[in-house]
Amino acid sequence: MLLPRHTTALALPAMLVLGACASSGGGSSQYPSLDIRESERVLGTLDAPPAPAFTPAPVTPATLARLDSLAATARAAHQRFLAAAGDAGAIVRRTAGSATGSDGWSRAQVAVAGLASIRSDAMIALADIDRIHVDAHVGGAEIVRSEAVRAEVSALVAEQDRVIADLLQTLGG
């Protein structure tokens, strides 16, 4: 196949230019090497300065007072829960085995729902404590006190969860 005349006219100078870039294969090239030169090598090491020790910001007195208030609210809710749990437990034990939907079963369900309502007071306090804990953690403040209060209230709520689960299991639902 023959190429048109103007294509050949353009291709010939391009081949001549590209041919000049090819190495002669004779060993030394007229172009400098692209290898890294001795003066371009980086020598030595760089040590980072030691990081200063982190000291968290102290908790404000207002935050400490709020934590104490929330813990007191959760403890009071827990005491109300324990008092109501005795009555609810008696109702549940009396009606254990009752048919679903019967009067006794309904009274037991209402008693357990009352416990869940009291438990919600402790859960609200725990949610507020969690918010304070997260804010302190994110803000770089001291978290030891909020962790301790959070652990205490979490244990109270976990105990309440166990009591409610046991009563529902005894009731059969």
Query: What residues contact residue 3 under an 8 Å CB cut-off, 6+ apart?
Result: 11
Spell out the SS3 assignment of 128-139.
HHHHHHHHHHHH
Cα separation, 95 vs 97, whole angstroms: 6
Confidence of residue 98 (pLDDT cuts 50, 70, 90): confident
**Residue of higher predicted confidence among 147 and 140:** 147
Cα separation, 30 vs 66, whole angstroms: 81
Instruction: Give percent of the chain above pLDDT 90.
Output: 51
Supply 119's token pair: 């438990």
Residue 23 pLDDT exceeds 60 = no
On whether the CB atoms of residues 103 and 151 are closer than 8 A, the answer is: no
Secondary structure of residue 141 in the 3-state scheme: strand
Q: What is the reported pTM? A: 0.67
Residue 170 pLDDT exceeds 80 = yes
The per-residue pLDDT for range 112-141, each reduced to its tens digit, is 999 999 999 999 999 999 999 999 989 888
